[in-house]
Amino acid sequence: MAKYIYEYKNWTNFSWQEKDINTVFGQVRLMQGKIIGQMNTLGFSVKEEATLTALTLDVVKSSEIEGELLNYDQVRSSIARRLGINTAGLVSSNRHIEGIVEVMLDATQRYNLPLTEKRLFGWHAALFPTGYSGPYAIETGKYRTGEMQIVSGAMGKEKVHYEAVKPKKVKLEMDKFLKWFNNNNQLDPVLKAAIAHFWFIIIHPFDDGNGRIGRVITDMLLARAEGSGERFYSMSNQILVERKRYYEVLQKVQHSSGDITEWIEWFLHCLQNAILATENTTQHILRKAEFWKLHEHTPINERQRTILNLLFDGFEGKLQTSKWAKITKVSTDTALRDIKDLIEKNILQQTNEGGRNANYELKNFMLS
């Protein structure tokens, strides 16, 4: 059985091949600068909207990696409330979602504060407010005291993918990690994000939630790299897309004797793809901003505003009178009046599909 990286002496003196990562590292840094520059020309409300979208994606997708599906609207509403962003149609969210959002915002909005044991324990306790992970009781708000294996497969046919650092060594290893995290400022924060993610996952200090906290630490360092709590892309969303490769690389590099080039290279490419994916979202947000600019003097009631925003934010399924009535809690007659009013104002149009129920969509618009 190949040795794990932590079984080597001085295992945290990681090394990597500069020449192998330099090109993608340079591209990522350039792209980060470019996206911040683009966003800064867009105005405050558009930047707010982009940050809200990126943070929501981050929270939802980070949980999805662990097989947990969170309600997108609840997460979005929780973040909007905490950041003081005015958006229509906020919904209330449960304690579990509030806890996850709290952790993400603490890391990304207070990115310059030191990462301490106390802060990490607070994050962990917030992720598991009941002291349970699914049906299992876990140790919360403290380092694990039991062995940690990552296994897959049916009972009796389990396959061990990874065996983490022994429990009695966890605190020692975490003290070393936190000291490096808070004091090593010579390293570029983007490279530091890559190393911190790997290092934390190797220690696996908690009973559960290690992946989520590892990704939160990554986001904290990326916010430092950009010197801003504004987030315009989602690393967790991209890790979910590349999940298979993520685990493959981790499994391979966990047996390295100290050279983690392959991990850093994968991490930088993943980050590059995350930033590229944002360009579509940005176009989406820009279009919404342009629409409201075009209609700043058009009389539009609150119900209409709510539905129009939903259409821009990716409305599920077809828009029909009955759906309008249900969402805005009005009669179908009122819903139909709202819709007809927007058709007259050249904002909505009926789709070409036949059938019993008429469907409506946004009309293409151009800024003159």
CA distances for 109 relative to 80, 120, 274, angstroms: 13, 15, 20
Flag the least confident range among 24-38, 244-258, 319-333, 341-355.
341-355
For residue 131, pLDDT beyond 70:
yes
Is the Cβ–Cβ distance between 128 and 208 less than 8 Å? Answer: yes
Per-residue pLDDT for 366 more than 70?
Answer: no
Phi and psi for 362 in degrees, rounded to 5?
Answer: -70, 140
Q: pLDDT class for 357, splitting at 50, 70, 90? A: confident
User: 364 or 95: which carries more pLDDT confidence?
Assistant: 95
Element (H, E) at 216: helix 210-226
The widest CA-to-CA distance across the chain, in whole angstroms, is 74
Q: Among the listed ranges 21-30, 105-114, 152-161, 257-266, which one has the minimum average pLDDT value?
A: 152-161
CB 243 within 8 A of CB 65: yes
pLDDT given for residue 354 in this prediction:
63
pLDDT category at 368 given cuts 50, 70, 90 is very low
Q: Of the given ranges (57-71, 192-206, 221-235, 354-368), which has the lowest mean pLDDT?
A: 354-368
Q: Is residue 115 pLDDT above 50, yes or no? A: yes
Pairing of strands 348-350, 159-163: unpaired
Q: pLDDT band at 312, cuts 50/70/90?
A: confident
Highest mean pLDDT (candidates 42-56, 169-183, 298-312):
169-183
Whole-angstrom distance, CA of residue 85 vs CA of residue 82: 8
Residue reference for tokens 């429990």: 167
pLDDT band at 47; cut points 50, 70, 90: confident
Q: Is the pLDDT of residue 200 over 50?
A: yes
- Determine if the pTM surpasses 0.75: yes
- CA–CA separation, 42 vs 63, rounded Å? 30
Domains of the chain: 5-287 (1.10.3290.10), 301-362 (1.10.10.10)
CA distance 148 to 128: 18
